[in-house]
Structure formats: C-alpha cells, structure tokens
Structure 1
C-alpha cells in the first residue's frame, strides 16, 4: 500500500478530532440524516438504495468541489472505474477492466456509454464536462436492456441542473498555478407560467504542466475550452411536458505529453493538438393523455469535428544523426442521432392482478464517422467512411411477488447494420443481430435493508480493422458478449445518517474485444506503432465494490469507496494469455471528509489511490501504485464563498498512460517503457457568488 495512505488517514482522523467535540456539545441529541438520492438512468426513477445494481452517484456537492471541471476529475471516487489519457484529457473509460484506451485509425464502438442530458457523447467524451452538473451516475455492469451495444461494461450519465420556477444563478471564478483560469456562470428562471429556462457557460484555460525545452515554451500541452448549454422546460398542455437542450463545446487543447526520459520536459518540434467542436440538440416529451400509460419520446442529434495529432518522434532534427521526423494527424467528422419511444405503465395498467409494472420501447441509433489521416510516411492521405444504423426493441417487467420480494426481468433485441470503406480499397458491410437483458431479484428485508441478486447479459457489435499493415487474418473481429452475475446489499443505518452499498460480482466475456498493437520497423530502423482490435478466446473478472457515506453530525460528513478487482485474459500464444486486463488495478479506494467549523469556515480532505496496472493488453508496460491527497479550506458568508485548494499535495509522480516500443535514437531504438505523467501538485483559489 502506498506510503501516503497512513499519513492521509491520520490527517482525516486529526481533522475529525478537531471538529467533533464542539459540534457534539451543541447537538447531543441531534439526528442528521442523508437525503434520498434518485437514480434516473433506468426504466423508472428510483432511489439509489432501492436500485438492484452496483451504482455510484456523485452529487452536486462532490461535483462542485473547486478544481473539478471534467469527468476525469471525479471518477476516482467510484470503485472499479478507471480512465486513460493519451491526449489532453482522460477520455476513454473502463469499468471492471472493460473499455477502450485510445483511438487511431480504427472506429471505436465504446464499451462504456456516456450520456449528457440524454445526448450520447460516447464517441466524443471531451464534451462530457461538469458544466452546471447536478449529478453523475455510474452504473457498473452491462446495461444492455436499456442502452444496448454502447453499454456493455456500464454507463456514465451526467445530468445538468434543470430550469427553475424562480430566478436563480451563480458565478464562479478560479485562478490556479500554471496560468490556470476558469470562469463559469449559470442562470435560470421562469419566462412565463408555462416556460422556464436555464443557461450555463464556462471558459477554462491553462498552460498545462509540460515544458517544451526545444521550443522554450510552457504551453504546448495547454487547455483551452469554451462550453455553453441552454435548457427549456415547457408545460405545453395539461397532458404534455417538453424538455429541450442545446449544447455547444469548442475545445482547442494542446497535446505534448511524452518525452524520451519520461519527464515533464519535452523536445518535440511539432507539438500536437487535441480538438473538438460539438453542437448537440436533444428533446424529450412526456405525454399523460390517457390513463393506460405514459408516453415518453426522446430525440437527439449531434455533430462534432475532432482533430487529434502528435509528434511521432517526440524530438527535433539534429538530436541524433539517425533521428527521423514524423507527425500523425487524425481529423474526424462525427454525426449522430438517436430516437427512443417508450411506453411506461401506470397504476391503471399494471399486469397480473396489479402486481406488475411494465415498460416497453423502440429505439433507433445512427452514427457516421469520416476520417482523414495525414501521416508523414503515407504517400497520400488515408480516408475512411463509417456508418452504423441500429434498430432495437426492448421491454421490462417488475413484479411484486410478495410485499418484500420483487422480480425484475428485461430483454432487448437489436440489429446493427454497418458500412465501412476506405482509400485502400477495403470495404465491409456486416450485419449483427444481438440480444441482451437482465434478471434480478430484490428483497427488502426491512425498511433499512435491501438484498439483490442479478444476472445480466451485455453485447457489443463486431467490426473491421482497416490498417494496411495488418495481415488479412487480423482484419475482422467478432461481436462480444458479457455475462454478469452479481449479489449485493444496501443499508440505511443510524437513523438514515449512514448509507452503505456492497456488491460482489463475476463477469464472463466471450470473444472479448481487446486493444492490441504491432510494432512495424521501417527501412531506416525507426518504428511505427500499429493499433488494432482483436478477439480473445475468453476473459473473466470478479471482485467487490463497497461504498459508504455518513452524515456523522451536522458539521461532519464522510464518504468512502473500495474496489477490488481480479481479471484474466485467455488467448493461446498471445502476449496477454493468462494476464490481467489493462487498466484494471487490483484495488482502488477513495476516502474523504467535509467539515463545517462554524462562523462560515469549512474545510475538507480527500485521498484516492490505486494499485499498479498494465497500460495495454499487448505489451508489459505498467504503472506504479499511487495515492493522491487533496485538501481545501474556505470561508462562506450569505451567498458567496472563497476556497483555497490544493491537489496532489505530496507531489506524487504517477502515470496515466503508457507504451512500450523503440523510439530513442540515442539508444539505438531499443524497446523501452514510456509514460504520460499525471498532474503535479497544484494550488488554486475559487470564488463563488450565488443569487
């Protein structure tokens, strides 16, 4: 266990000892309860403690901690959830060791779905920011009954604040090291007695923490993000409610993160970039015109321009006589659309003697992705076209077998039709017919305890590897299926002041899609890294997820989570045969405490950590185990606050992405491990005004 952990636990304990006595004297008989948390990313809204699956919910208090701007800033609070960088942001997610870690030529069909206000952002996750976010829900395990192929491993659902009936808003300003500035504002209220709105905007900039010694610049790995969201809620009639959302993101980040000596000092003469411009619209209607069911219709469209490029050699001409010079750039146009028509039973239409609630629906998904690759060693640009259309029907029954025992069963049938072609003359037009679902038993032993057992089947479509360096035998990869077996318990204890969740699971993957790679040596002895998708014969994982939050007193709130995970991939003759899956640490944890010291003063401590893990399934590069400590101290009065905060206070050096290949001419291009380092120690101050 990293040496930071005992120190961090001692610091949290010391803070508690300082705060508890004074509060206990004032509240000897006080009872401090936690408000119920709703999970919205399911067939029906339900409380977190009554949801029969392993779910984490990050509330507004957690999301609004200073320095939290993106999903990558908060996901460490959730057990067995990881992310990989390899660009300006961590934008590829893994749940229980399943998920992608990068994208180059190939089209990625994500294993972890990402939704923002009903908009599918799974293929453009830099737009999955925490702008005016109210709640982030993380559902572990396949969610195919409701979300289909894009939720094989799980789902991340971000919900922004809704329009309000009264005028309200806030402005937040952050200034931090590395020339970091963040300005965010939100405002909402009524337009009329039937229409309300909310608008939010954010401007986030930073020079980043990389120094390019060759160019004598400190901003080649910068952050430059502009975000805007508007929402409207319309009571169109007594029977019809409408919710409309528009989202725009303009992201122009730098990418200059790797060096030959694994430091934060680079030598690249052509620093890369990581850009995304997204416009997305969504609408949802809820119609209550007849008593037999509620009709919900959800539509969304999105368009994104993505550009990702980097200096392949990481150096400059003249570093060494044998140095080569190359750049690689990927420009993508992504378009998407979804339509979901859902029928939800009412009390008057329940089945089987009024014991069974039902939900059924039809779903359509469209995605197109056009690529233009510019690479130094290509005689002409590589281009490709990809289009996917999916049609699905789904349904779920929730039957009360007794007053305490509920049986849930759902199923989804989905057809995927894909078209692919590229400038190398490759062409593919596969069709997959897939199914998934779940069976669950939920037993309420008392008002404060629930037990559940769950079996779920997830699926993911197959595809085609387009890289011309690959032999024909590696061009196609098959659809994947995942079976999840899970037992869990949830408790409300100590007069509802303590909430706990514990789940154990076993997952079996057939034809598991893994990210593989091949190193190709050029005539000049330099190398290129070829990335592709392959199928493993079999893969499995098992583990435990535990979470707790405790409102110990009115002034003290604690939270913690623990994830234990064991994974294994099996493929005779492969490098990864019998090995752990990539980005699947055997343990990870998070602990935190928030303190109210009275008279407007507050503070908090958080520690997060994880075990070592492999960066890829195709080489042996590994991270080290690490733990990160963060703290904050602030003052609040009436409707304003000022917070001084620090992250990674011990200045831990840790890696967020890694590779293993030859790239240093000074060493004769021997194979070495290269890593992208995470953020160093950073201090900042945040001021917030609410009205």
Structure 2
C-alpha cells in the first residue's frame, strides 16, 4: 500500500478492500488491480498516470503466446515488426522501429521480472506471466534513460507456499502448437519455489513458392523460468529468478508481389538465446524504512539475417530483365551482456517526515551493457565489427506529501551520468559523457468517494549517440540527446458499487531534439542491384505529441463483463528536412496512428461456460519519417468459447476471424523487383491472418 494512504484511509482503497472482502457475496465487484512497476505496489486507481494492466485471465482468453499479441489492447501503444516478432515498441508515437549496424538507445523500456530486455523484445514470451503493465509517458524518476516514451513491465507468477501445478496445451492452424507447464510449492519451512517451461511451434503464415515450403517464416520458441523465495530471517526475504529463452524463428516475410507468397532462395532467421538471472533482497529490519536491493544480469546471443533480394538468381531467366538479377544476404550477429544493480530505501508510516505527512524513497542505480556486432554482408569487402559499451550511474529521490485530507503532492528527481564508448572496424572511435536529469511533479485530488483527479508534469530523456556507417559525412556522424516534457491530467473513477471503473487521461508532450531515423541509398558493386541502404539517426528541432487515453471496465451482472479502451493521438515534426531533402514540417510522426481502440464483451452462461468476443482497430500511420508509405486502417475480430469443469478447461478460440490484411512493417522509396527493372514501389510485411485453434488446461 502506498505511504500516502497508510495513515489517511483513501475512500477508493476502502472501497476496493471491501469489494475484495465481499467478493463471494457480491461477485459483480471488480477485483483490485495492483501496479508493481513503481517504487511501491499501488492500486491502479491511486497511481497518478496513464497505465494499462493486462492480467493472466485475459492472456489465457486470447491464447496469447507473445507480448505482441496483447499490445493492441492498450491505448496509444504500437509495435514494429520487420522480424519474426515485434522487437521494438512505440508509446504515444515514440519508439524505435528497427536496428541494423547502428547502436540503439531504446525509448521504451522492457523489464521482465526485474531483468532489462529493452531493445530485444523478441524475448517477450508469455510463459506463466501474471500480468503485463504498460506505463505511458516518461518514467524519468523511476527508470531514466530507457523509458522516455514509457515502460512495459512483465511480472511472472511468484512461488507459492502450497503445492500447485498446471499444464496447458494448444493446437491451431498453420501447424501451430504450444505446450507449457508450471509447478510451485514449498522446499522447506522458509523456502518456496516455482518452475515453468514452454515450447511454441508454428510453420508461420508464409508460403515460399520457390522452395515449395510453408515453414520459412516459422516460430520455434522455448522458455524456461525458475523462481525461489527464501524467508532467510523474520526481516529478510530473498527472491531469486533464473530465465532461459531460446528462440530460433525463421524470417521470410517480404514478397516482391506484396502477398504471403515469397520467392527467397535463402530465407532468413531471427534468433535469440538468453540466459538471465536476478536476485532481490528485501529487509524490514528498521521500523522507519525497508531496504530493497536488486541485482540482475543477462547474456544474449542474437542473430538476425535475411535474403536481401527476396528472390532466386534465375528469376529473370528468359525474360526481358535477364541479367538484371542480383543475389545478396545480410546477417547480423550480436553478443549482448547487461548487468544492473539498484539499492533503495522506501519509507514506512513510522518513517514519514515533515510531521508525519511525507513518505520518501531514495536510491542509486547502476547499469552496464556491452554489445558486440558482427555483420556479414554479400556486397561488403569484409565483415563489419563493432563494440558499443554503455554505463549509467544514477541517484534518485521521491517524496509523497499529504497536503490535506484530499490533496497529495508527489515530487521526484533522478540525476544520471551516462558514458558510452563505440569503436568499429571502419575506424570509427567515439566516446561521450553526459549528465542528465529527469523527474516528475504530480498532484492528486480526491474529489469524492468515486473520483480521483490528478495532474502531472514529467521530464524524460534519451541519450544521444553515434552513427556508425563510414559512408556518412562528418556532420551526420553523431546526434544529440532528446528531451521531453510531458503534461498530463486525468481522472480515475470507481462507480456503481465498484462494478464500473474508468480512467481518462489527456496529455501534451513537448519534444526537443527529436531523434529521427533516416536512410539513403548508395550504389553497390553490382550495377544492376538497387544499392545498399545506409541508416542513421539525426535530430529534428522539435516535436509535439498530444491526445487522449480512456479505459473502462464494467460488470453489470454476475454474467456480463465489458471492457473498452480508446487512444487518440496527434503528432507532428517541426523544423525537420529528411535525407531526401523533403521538408516534413507539420507531418505526423512514424508509427503514430491517430486512433486506436479495443472492445471486449465476456458472458458467463453458467459456472461452466463462458464466451468472449473482442474487436480491435487502428488508424493508418506512416511507416517511416524517410518516405511517404503508410499502413492502412483496419479492424480485427476475435472470439473464444471456454468450458471449465473443476480443475480443467478447454477453449475454442480465433483471432482475426474476418482474415483482415494489415501491415506491421513497410518500406518505400526503392524497388527490389528485377522483373520491373527495380521500379520504386511499396513493400509490406503482413500481420497475423485468421488463426484458430483449441486449448486445454489442467490445474491442481
């Protein structure tokens, strides 16, 4: 429970607690939702900020196996593919979309059980995940540089003191299957454990006509997680987490004809093998505060490669274009090690200062990362190698001050020292040292028992960096740090005896030195090949992002449950001319749809049967700030029918039941088809088509 309500009984908290206590007699009451990503575990109705929490029941109802299959439920959250899974995410129109040889500092943080996976979201499998929390807006006090746009926090289930076990299985079209299991229980009087494992397999949604295969864009994902909780003393708890992810997915997604039929002779791959661990120590030795120390480390081997020509050598044999063909493979191998250490003191009610009105948090944080790259490219004279080392040291503090019976002021500040060292085989040698700061001021007002109003201003930052390619001029070699100020106001309500909950947020974000990814085409040794794209980052002078986020949950009876989410977003770039010389003053930012919505209705026929229907939609958006190609607006429909008997269940489900075509990545400004003599045209990677299957579950 947050400090600010430990002495002042918040009516919304009392309502939530009473609802939980009477859940058996009033089943219409919605369960309490707790956000765990902040310094203190906080009820979602009390957290001043726009946040979405997706729980394990919803994950199961959607038969979601990866984070990308949940994100459309959250307002103003988008993702970019260009690989087998979504690796990069955008919140309120801000976030990266790809990575090749250039080093990347992420805008959206991804944390899984206190382990930092920012920038490698392919690891976001949903094995035994308890809930996914999406915090929108800069998290300048809590997370610093990697959370300019927001944070995605994935929390898995904790060990239990009693023996429990569950198994789940799925069979679906496209030769898809998944099997998972978890077991949890005591190891002794003071030790409990949890072990979970999962294997996901699918042929994917692409048919390679040249190779006569339907599995060149396949899914092959294995995840293993272990957790141990040790109550070492009456005042010391140790939580250990170990995680192993082995992903060996194919990548053959782009077609010269913009269909799901490809012609690649050397299909690509998207692989990741990660071993990671974390330990958290929590001490309540002192009455005035608790001590939390969190250490984590991960070691990841990543390999991403593709058939650059998307075809086979003899595609023009016997045609007018004979001799125009080229053949090229591009492959990127990365070794990435990340280590973090954080220590903080979190006050209790007894430790409140300023006459007992103010709770506090102080902490220090350190993060080191080393990323080695090997690029193997057909048209390069030799392999390209680079090494990118970054270190972050920061200190932070936060105060929560009760100004009156209804008014709470939260102030937070984070100071960070960032250093980076980059070197590569082209002779580029770059280092930087920056002092950065971020923070937040939030004011909460309890209007009455049903409504909490808040307003906040927060400041976030994203460090600058180096552009690695030696084809760039000196003035394009590096780019500046981006800063953003976020203004936000919202209301969170609990109505109709806590059967209806709503949250609405309005935001306005001012971006300075906006980091914008650009590219240009340079010739290669083959005169008939379209050339090599050189990617780099530059800065627009300014940008603005503003809009609305609204979410609703309503349970009007024991049978019905409704939920809805809406995101409205307006974005623009200011004082920016792209690499093609086009003035983009006032144009929308990339991957920033102007609207996004989701609707879901769930009905319990009786104690055994339930049905769920959901609709999601998204407006068109630009794929890049470097060309004019856009996605198209779309809506998809999903449904499930579940039967539960005692400790087992079976579910029939389907996603995108209308088989809507929509794009998750797109390119323009070049041609890749020799049959058309490399005439410029757009190319699209399609999202998931109609999928359907049956799932089984059993739990002790």
TM-score grouping bracket, smaller chain normalisation: over 0.9
Partner of 2:383: 381
Partner of 2:285: 289
**How big is each residue's C-alpha offset from its partner over 1:607-662, in whole Å with a ceiling of 9 and x where there is no partner?**
11100000111111100000000011121111111111111111101111000122
Tell whether the 8 Å contact from 2:87 to 2:119 is kept in structure 1 after alignment. no
Give the distance between the partners of 1:372 and 1:179, measured in 2 at CA.
34
Query: Is 2:364 the counterpart of 1:362?
Result: yes
Partner of 2:573: 569
| 1:4-23 alignment, distance < 5 Å | none
1:399 to 394, 398, 401: 401
Question: Structure 1: which 4+ aligned runs deviate by more than 6 Å?
Answer: none
Give the distance between the partners of 1:191 and 1:278, measured in 2 at CA.
27
Give the distance between the partners of 2:62 and 2:137, measured in 1 at CA.
30
Partner of 1:550: 554
Tell whether the 8 Å contact from 1:527 to 1:662 is kept in structure 2 after alignment. no
Tell whether the 8 Å contact from 1:66 to 1:686 is kept in structure 2 after alignment. no
* CA displacement at 1:601 relative to structure 2: 1.5
Give the distance between the partners of 1:352 and 1:313, measured in 2 at CA.
67
Tell whether the 8 Å contact from 1:653 to 1:678 is kept in structure 2 after alignment. yes
Give the distance between the partners of 1:278 and 1:31, measured in 2 at CA.
42
Give the distance between the partners of 2:26 and 2:334, measured in 1 at CA.
58
* CA displacement at 1:600 relative to structure 2: 1.4
Query: Is 2:504 the counterpart of 1:496?
Result: no
2:251 to 255, 258, 265: 255
* CA displacement at 1:468 relative to structure 2: 1.8
Query: Is 2:621 the counterpart of 1:613?
Result: yes
Distance 1:608 1:379, change over 3 A: same
Query: Is 2:653 the counterpart of 1:645?
Result: yes
Query: Is 2:539 the counterpart of 1:531?
Result: no
Structure 1 stretches lacking a partner, 5+ long: 1-28
| 1:134-283 alignment, distance < 5 Å | 134-283=130-279
Give the distance between the partners of 1:587 and 1:208, measured in 2 at CA.
29
Give the distance between the partners of 2:504 and 2:663, measured in 1 at CA.
29
Distance 1:599 1:289, change over 3 A: closer
Give the distance between the partners of 2:456 and 2:653, measured in 1 at CA.
41
Partner of 1:353: 355
2:457 to 455, 474, 488: 455
**How big is each residue's C-alpha offset from its partner over 1:45-66, in whole Å with a ceiling of 9 and x where there is no partner?**
1100010000111111111224
Tell whether the 8 Å contact from 1:500 to 1:548 is kept in structure 2 after alignment. yes
User: Any idea what SS the aligned residue of 2:447 has?
Assistant: strand
Partner of 1:53: 49
* CA displacement at 1:471 relative to structure 2: 1.7
Partner of 1:481: 483
Give the distance between the partners of 2:399 and 2:364, measured in 1 at CA.
16
Give the distance between the partners of 1:30 and 1:427, measured in 2 at CA.
65
Tell whether the 8 Å contact from 1:56 to 1:137 is kept in structure 2 after alignment. yes
Partner of 1:332: 334
Distance 1:572 1:244, change over 3 A: closer
User: Any idea what SS the aligned residue of 1:150 has?
Assistant: helix
* CA displacement at 1:551 relative to structure 2: 1.4
Partner of 1:102: 98
State the Cα RMSD in Å.
1.2
Give the distance between the partners of 1:64 and 1:514, measured in 2 at CA.
37
Partner of 1:75: 71
| 1:507-526 alignment, distance < 5 Å | 507-522=509-524, 524-525=527-528, 526=530
2:639 to 613, 631, 641: 631
1:679 to 674, 678, 688: 688
- Point out the more displaced range, 568-577 or 202-211: 568-577
Give the distance between the partners of 1:221 and 1:577, measured in 2 at CA.
38
Structure 2 stretches lacking a partner, 5+ long: 1-24, 317-321
User: Any idea what SS the aligned residue of 2:146 has?
Assistant: helix
**How big is each residue's C-alpha offset from its partner over 1:559-594, in whole Å with a ceiling of 9 and x where there is no partner?**
100000000012343333321011100000000011
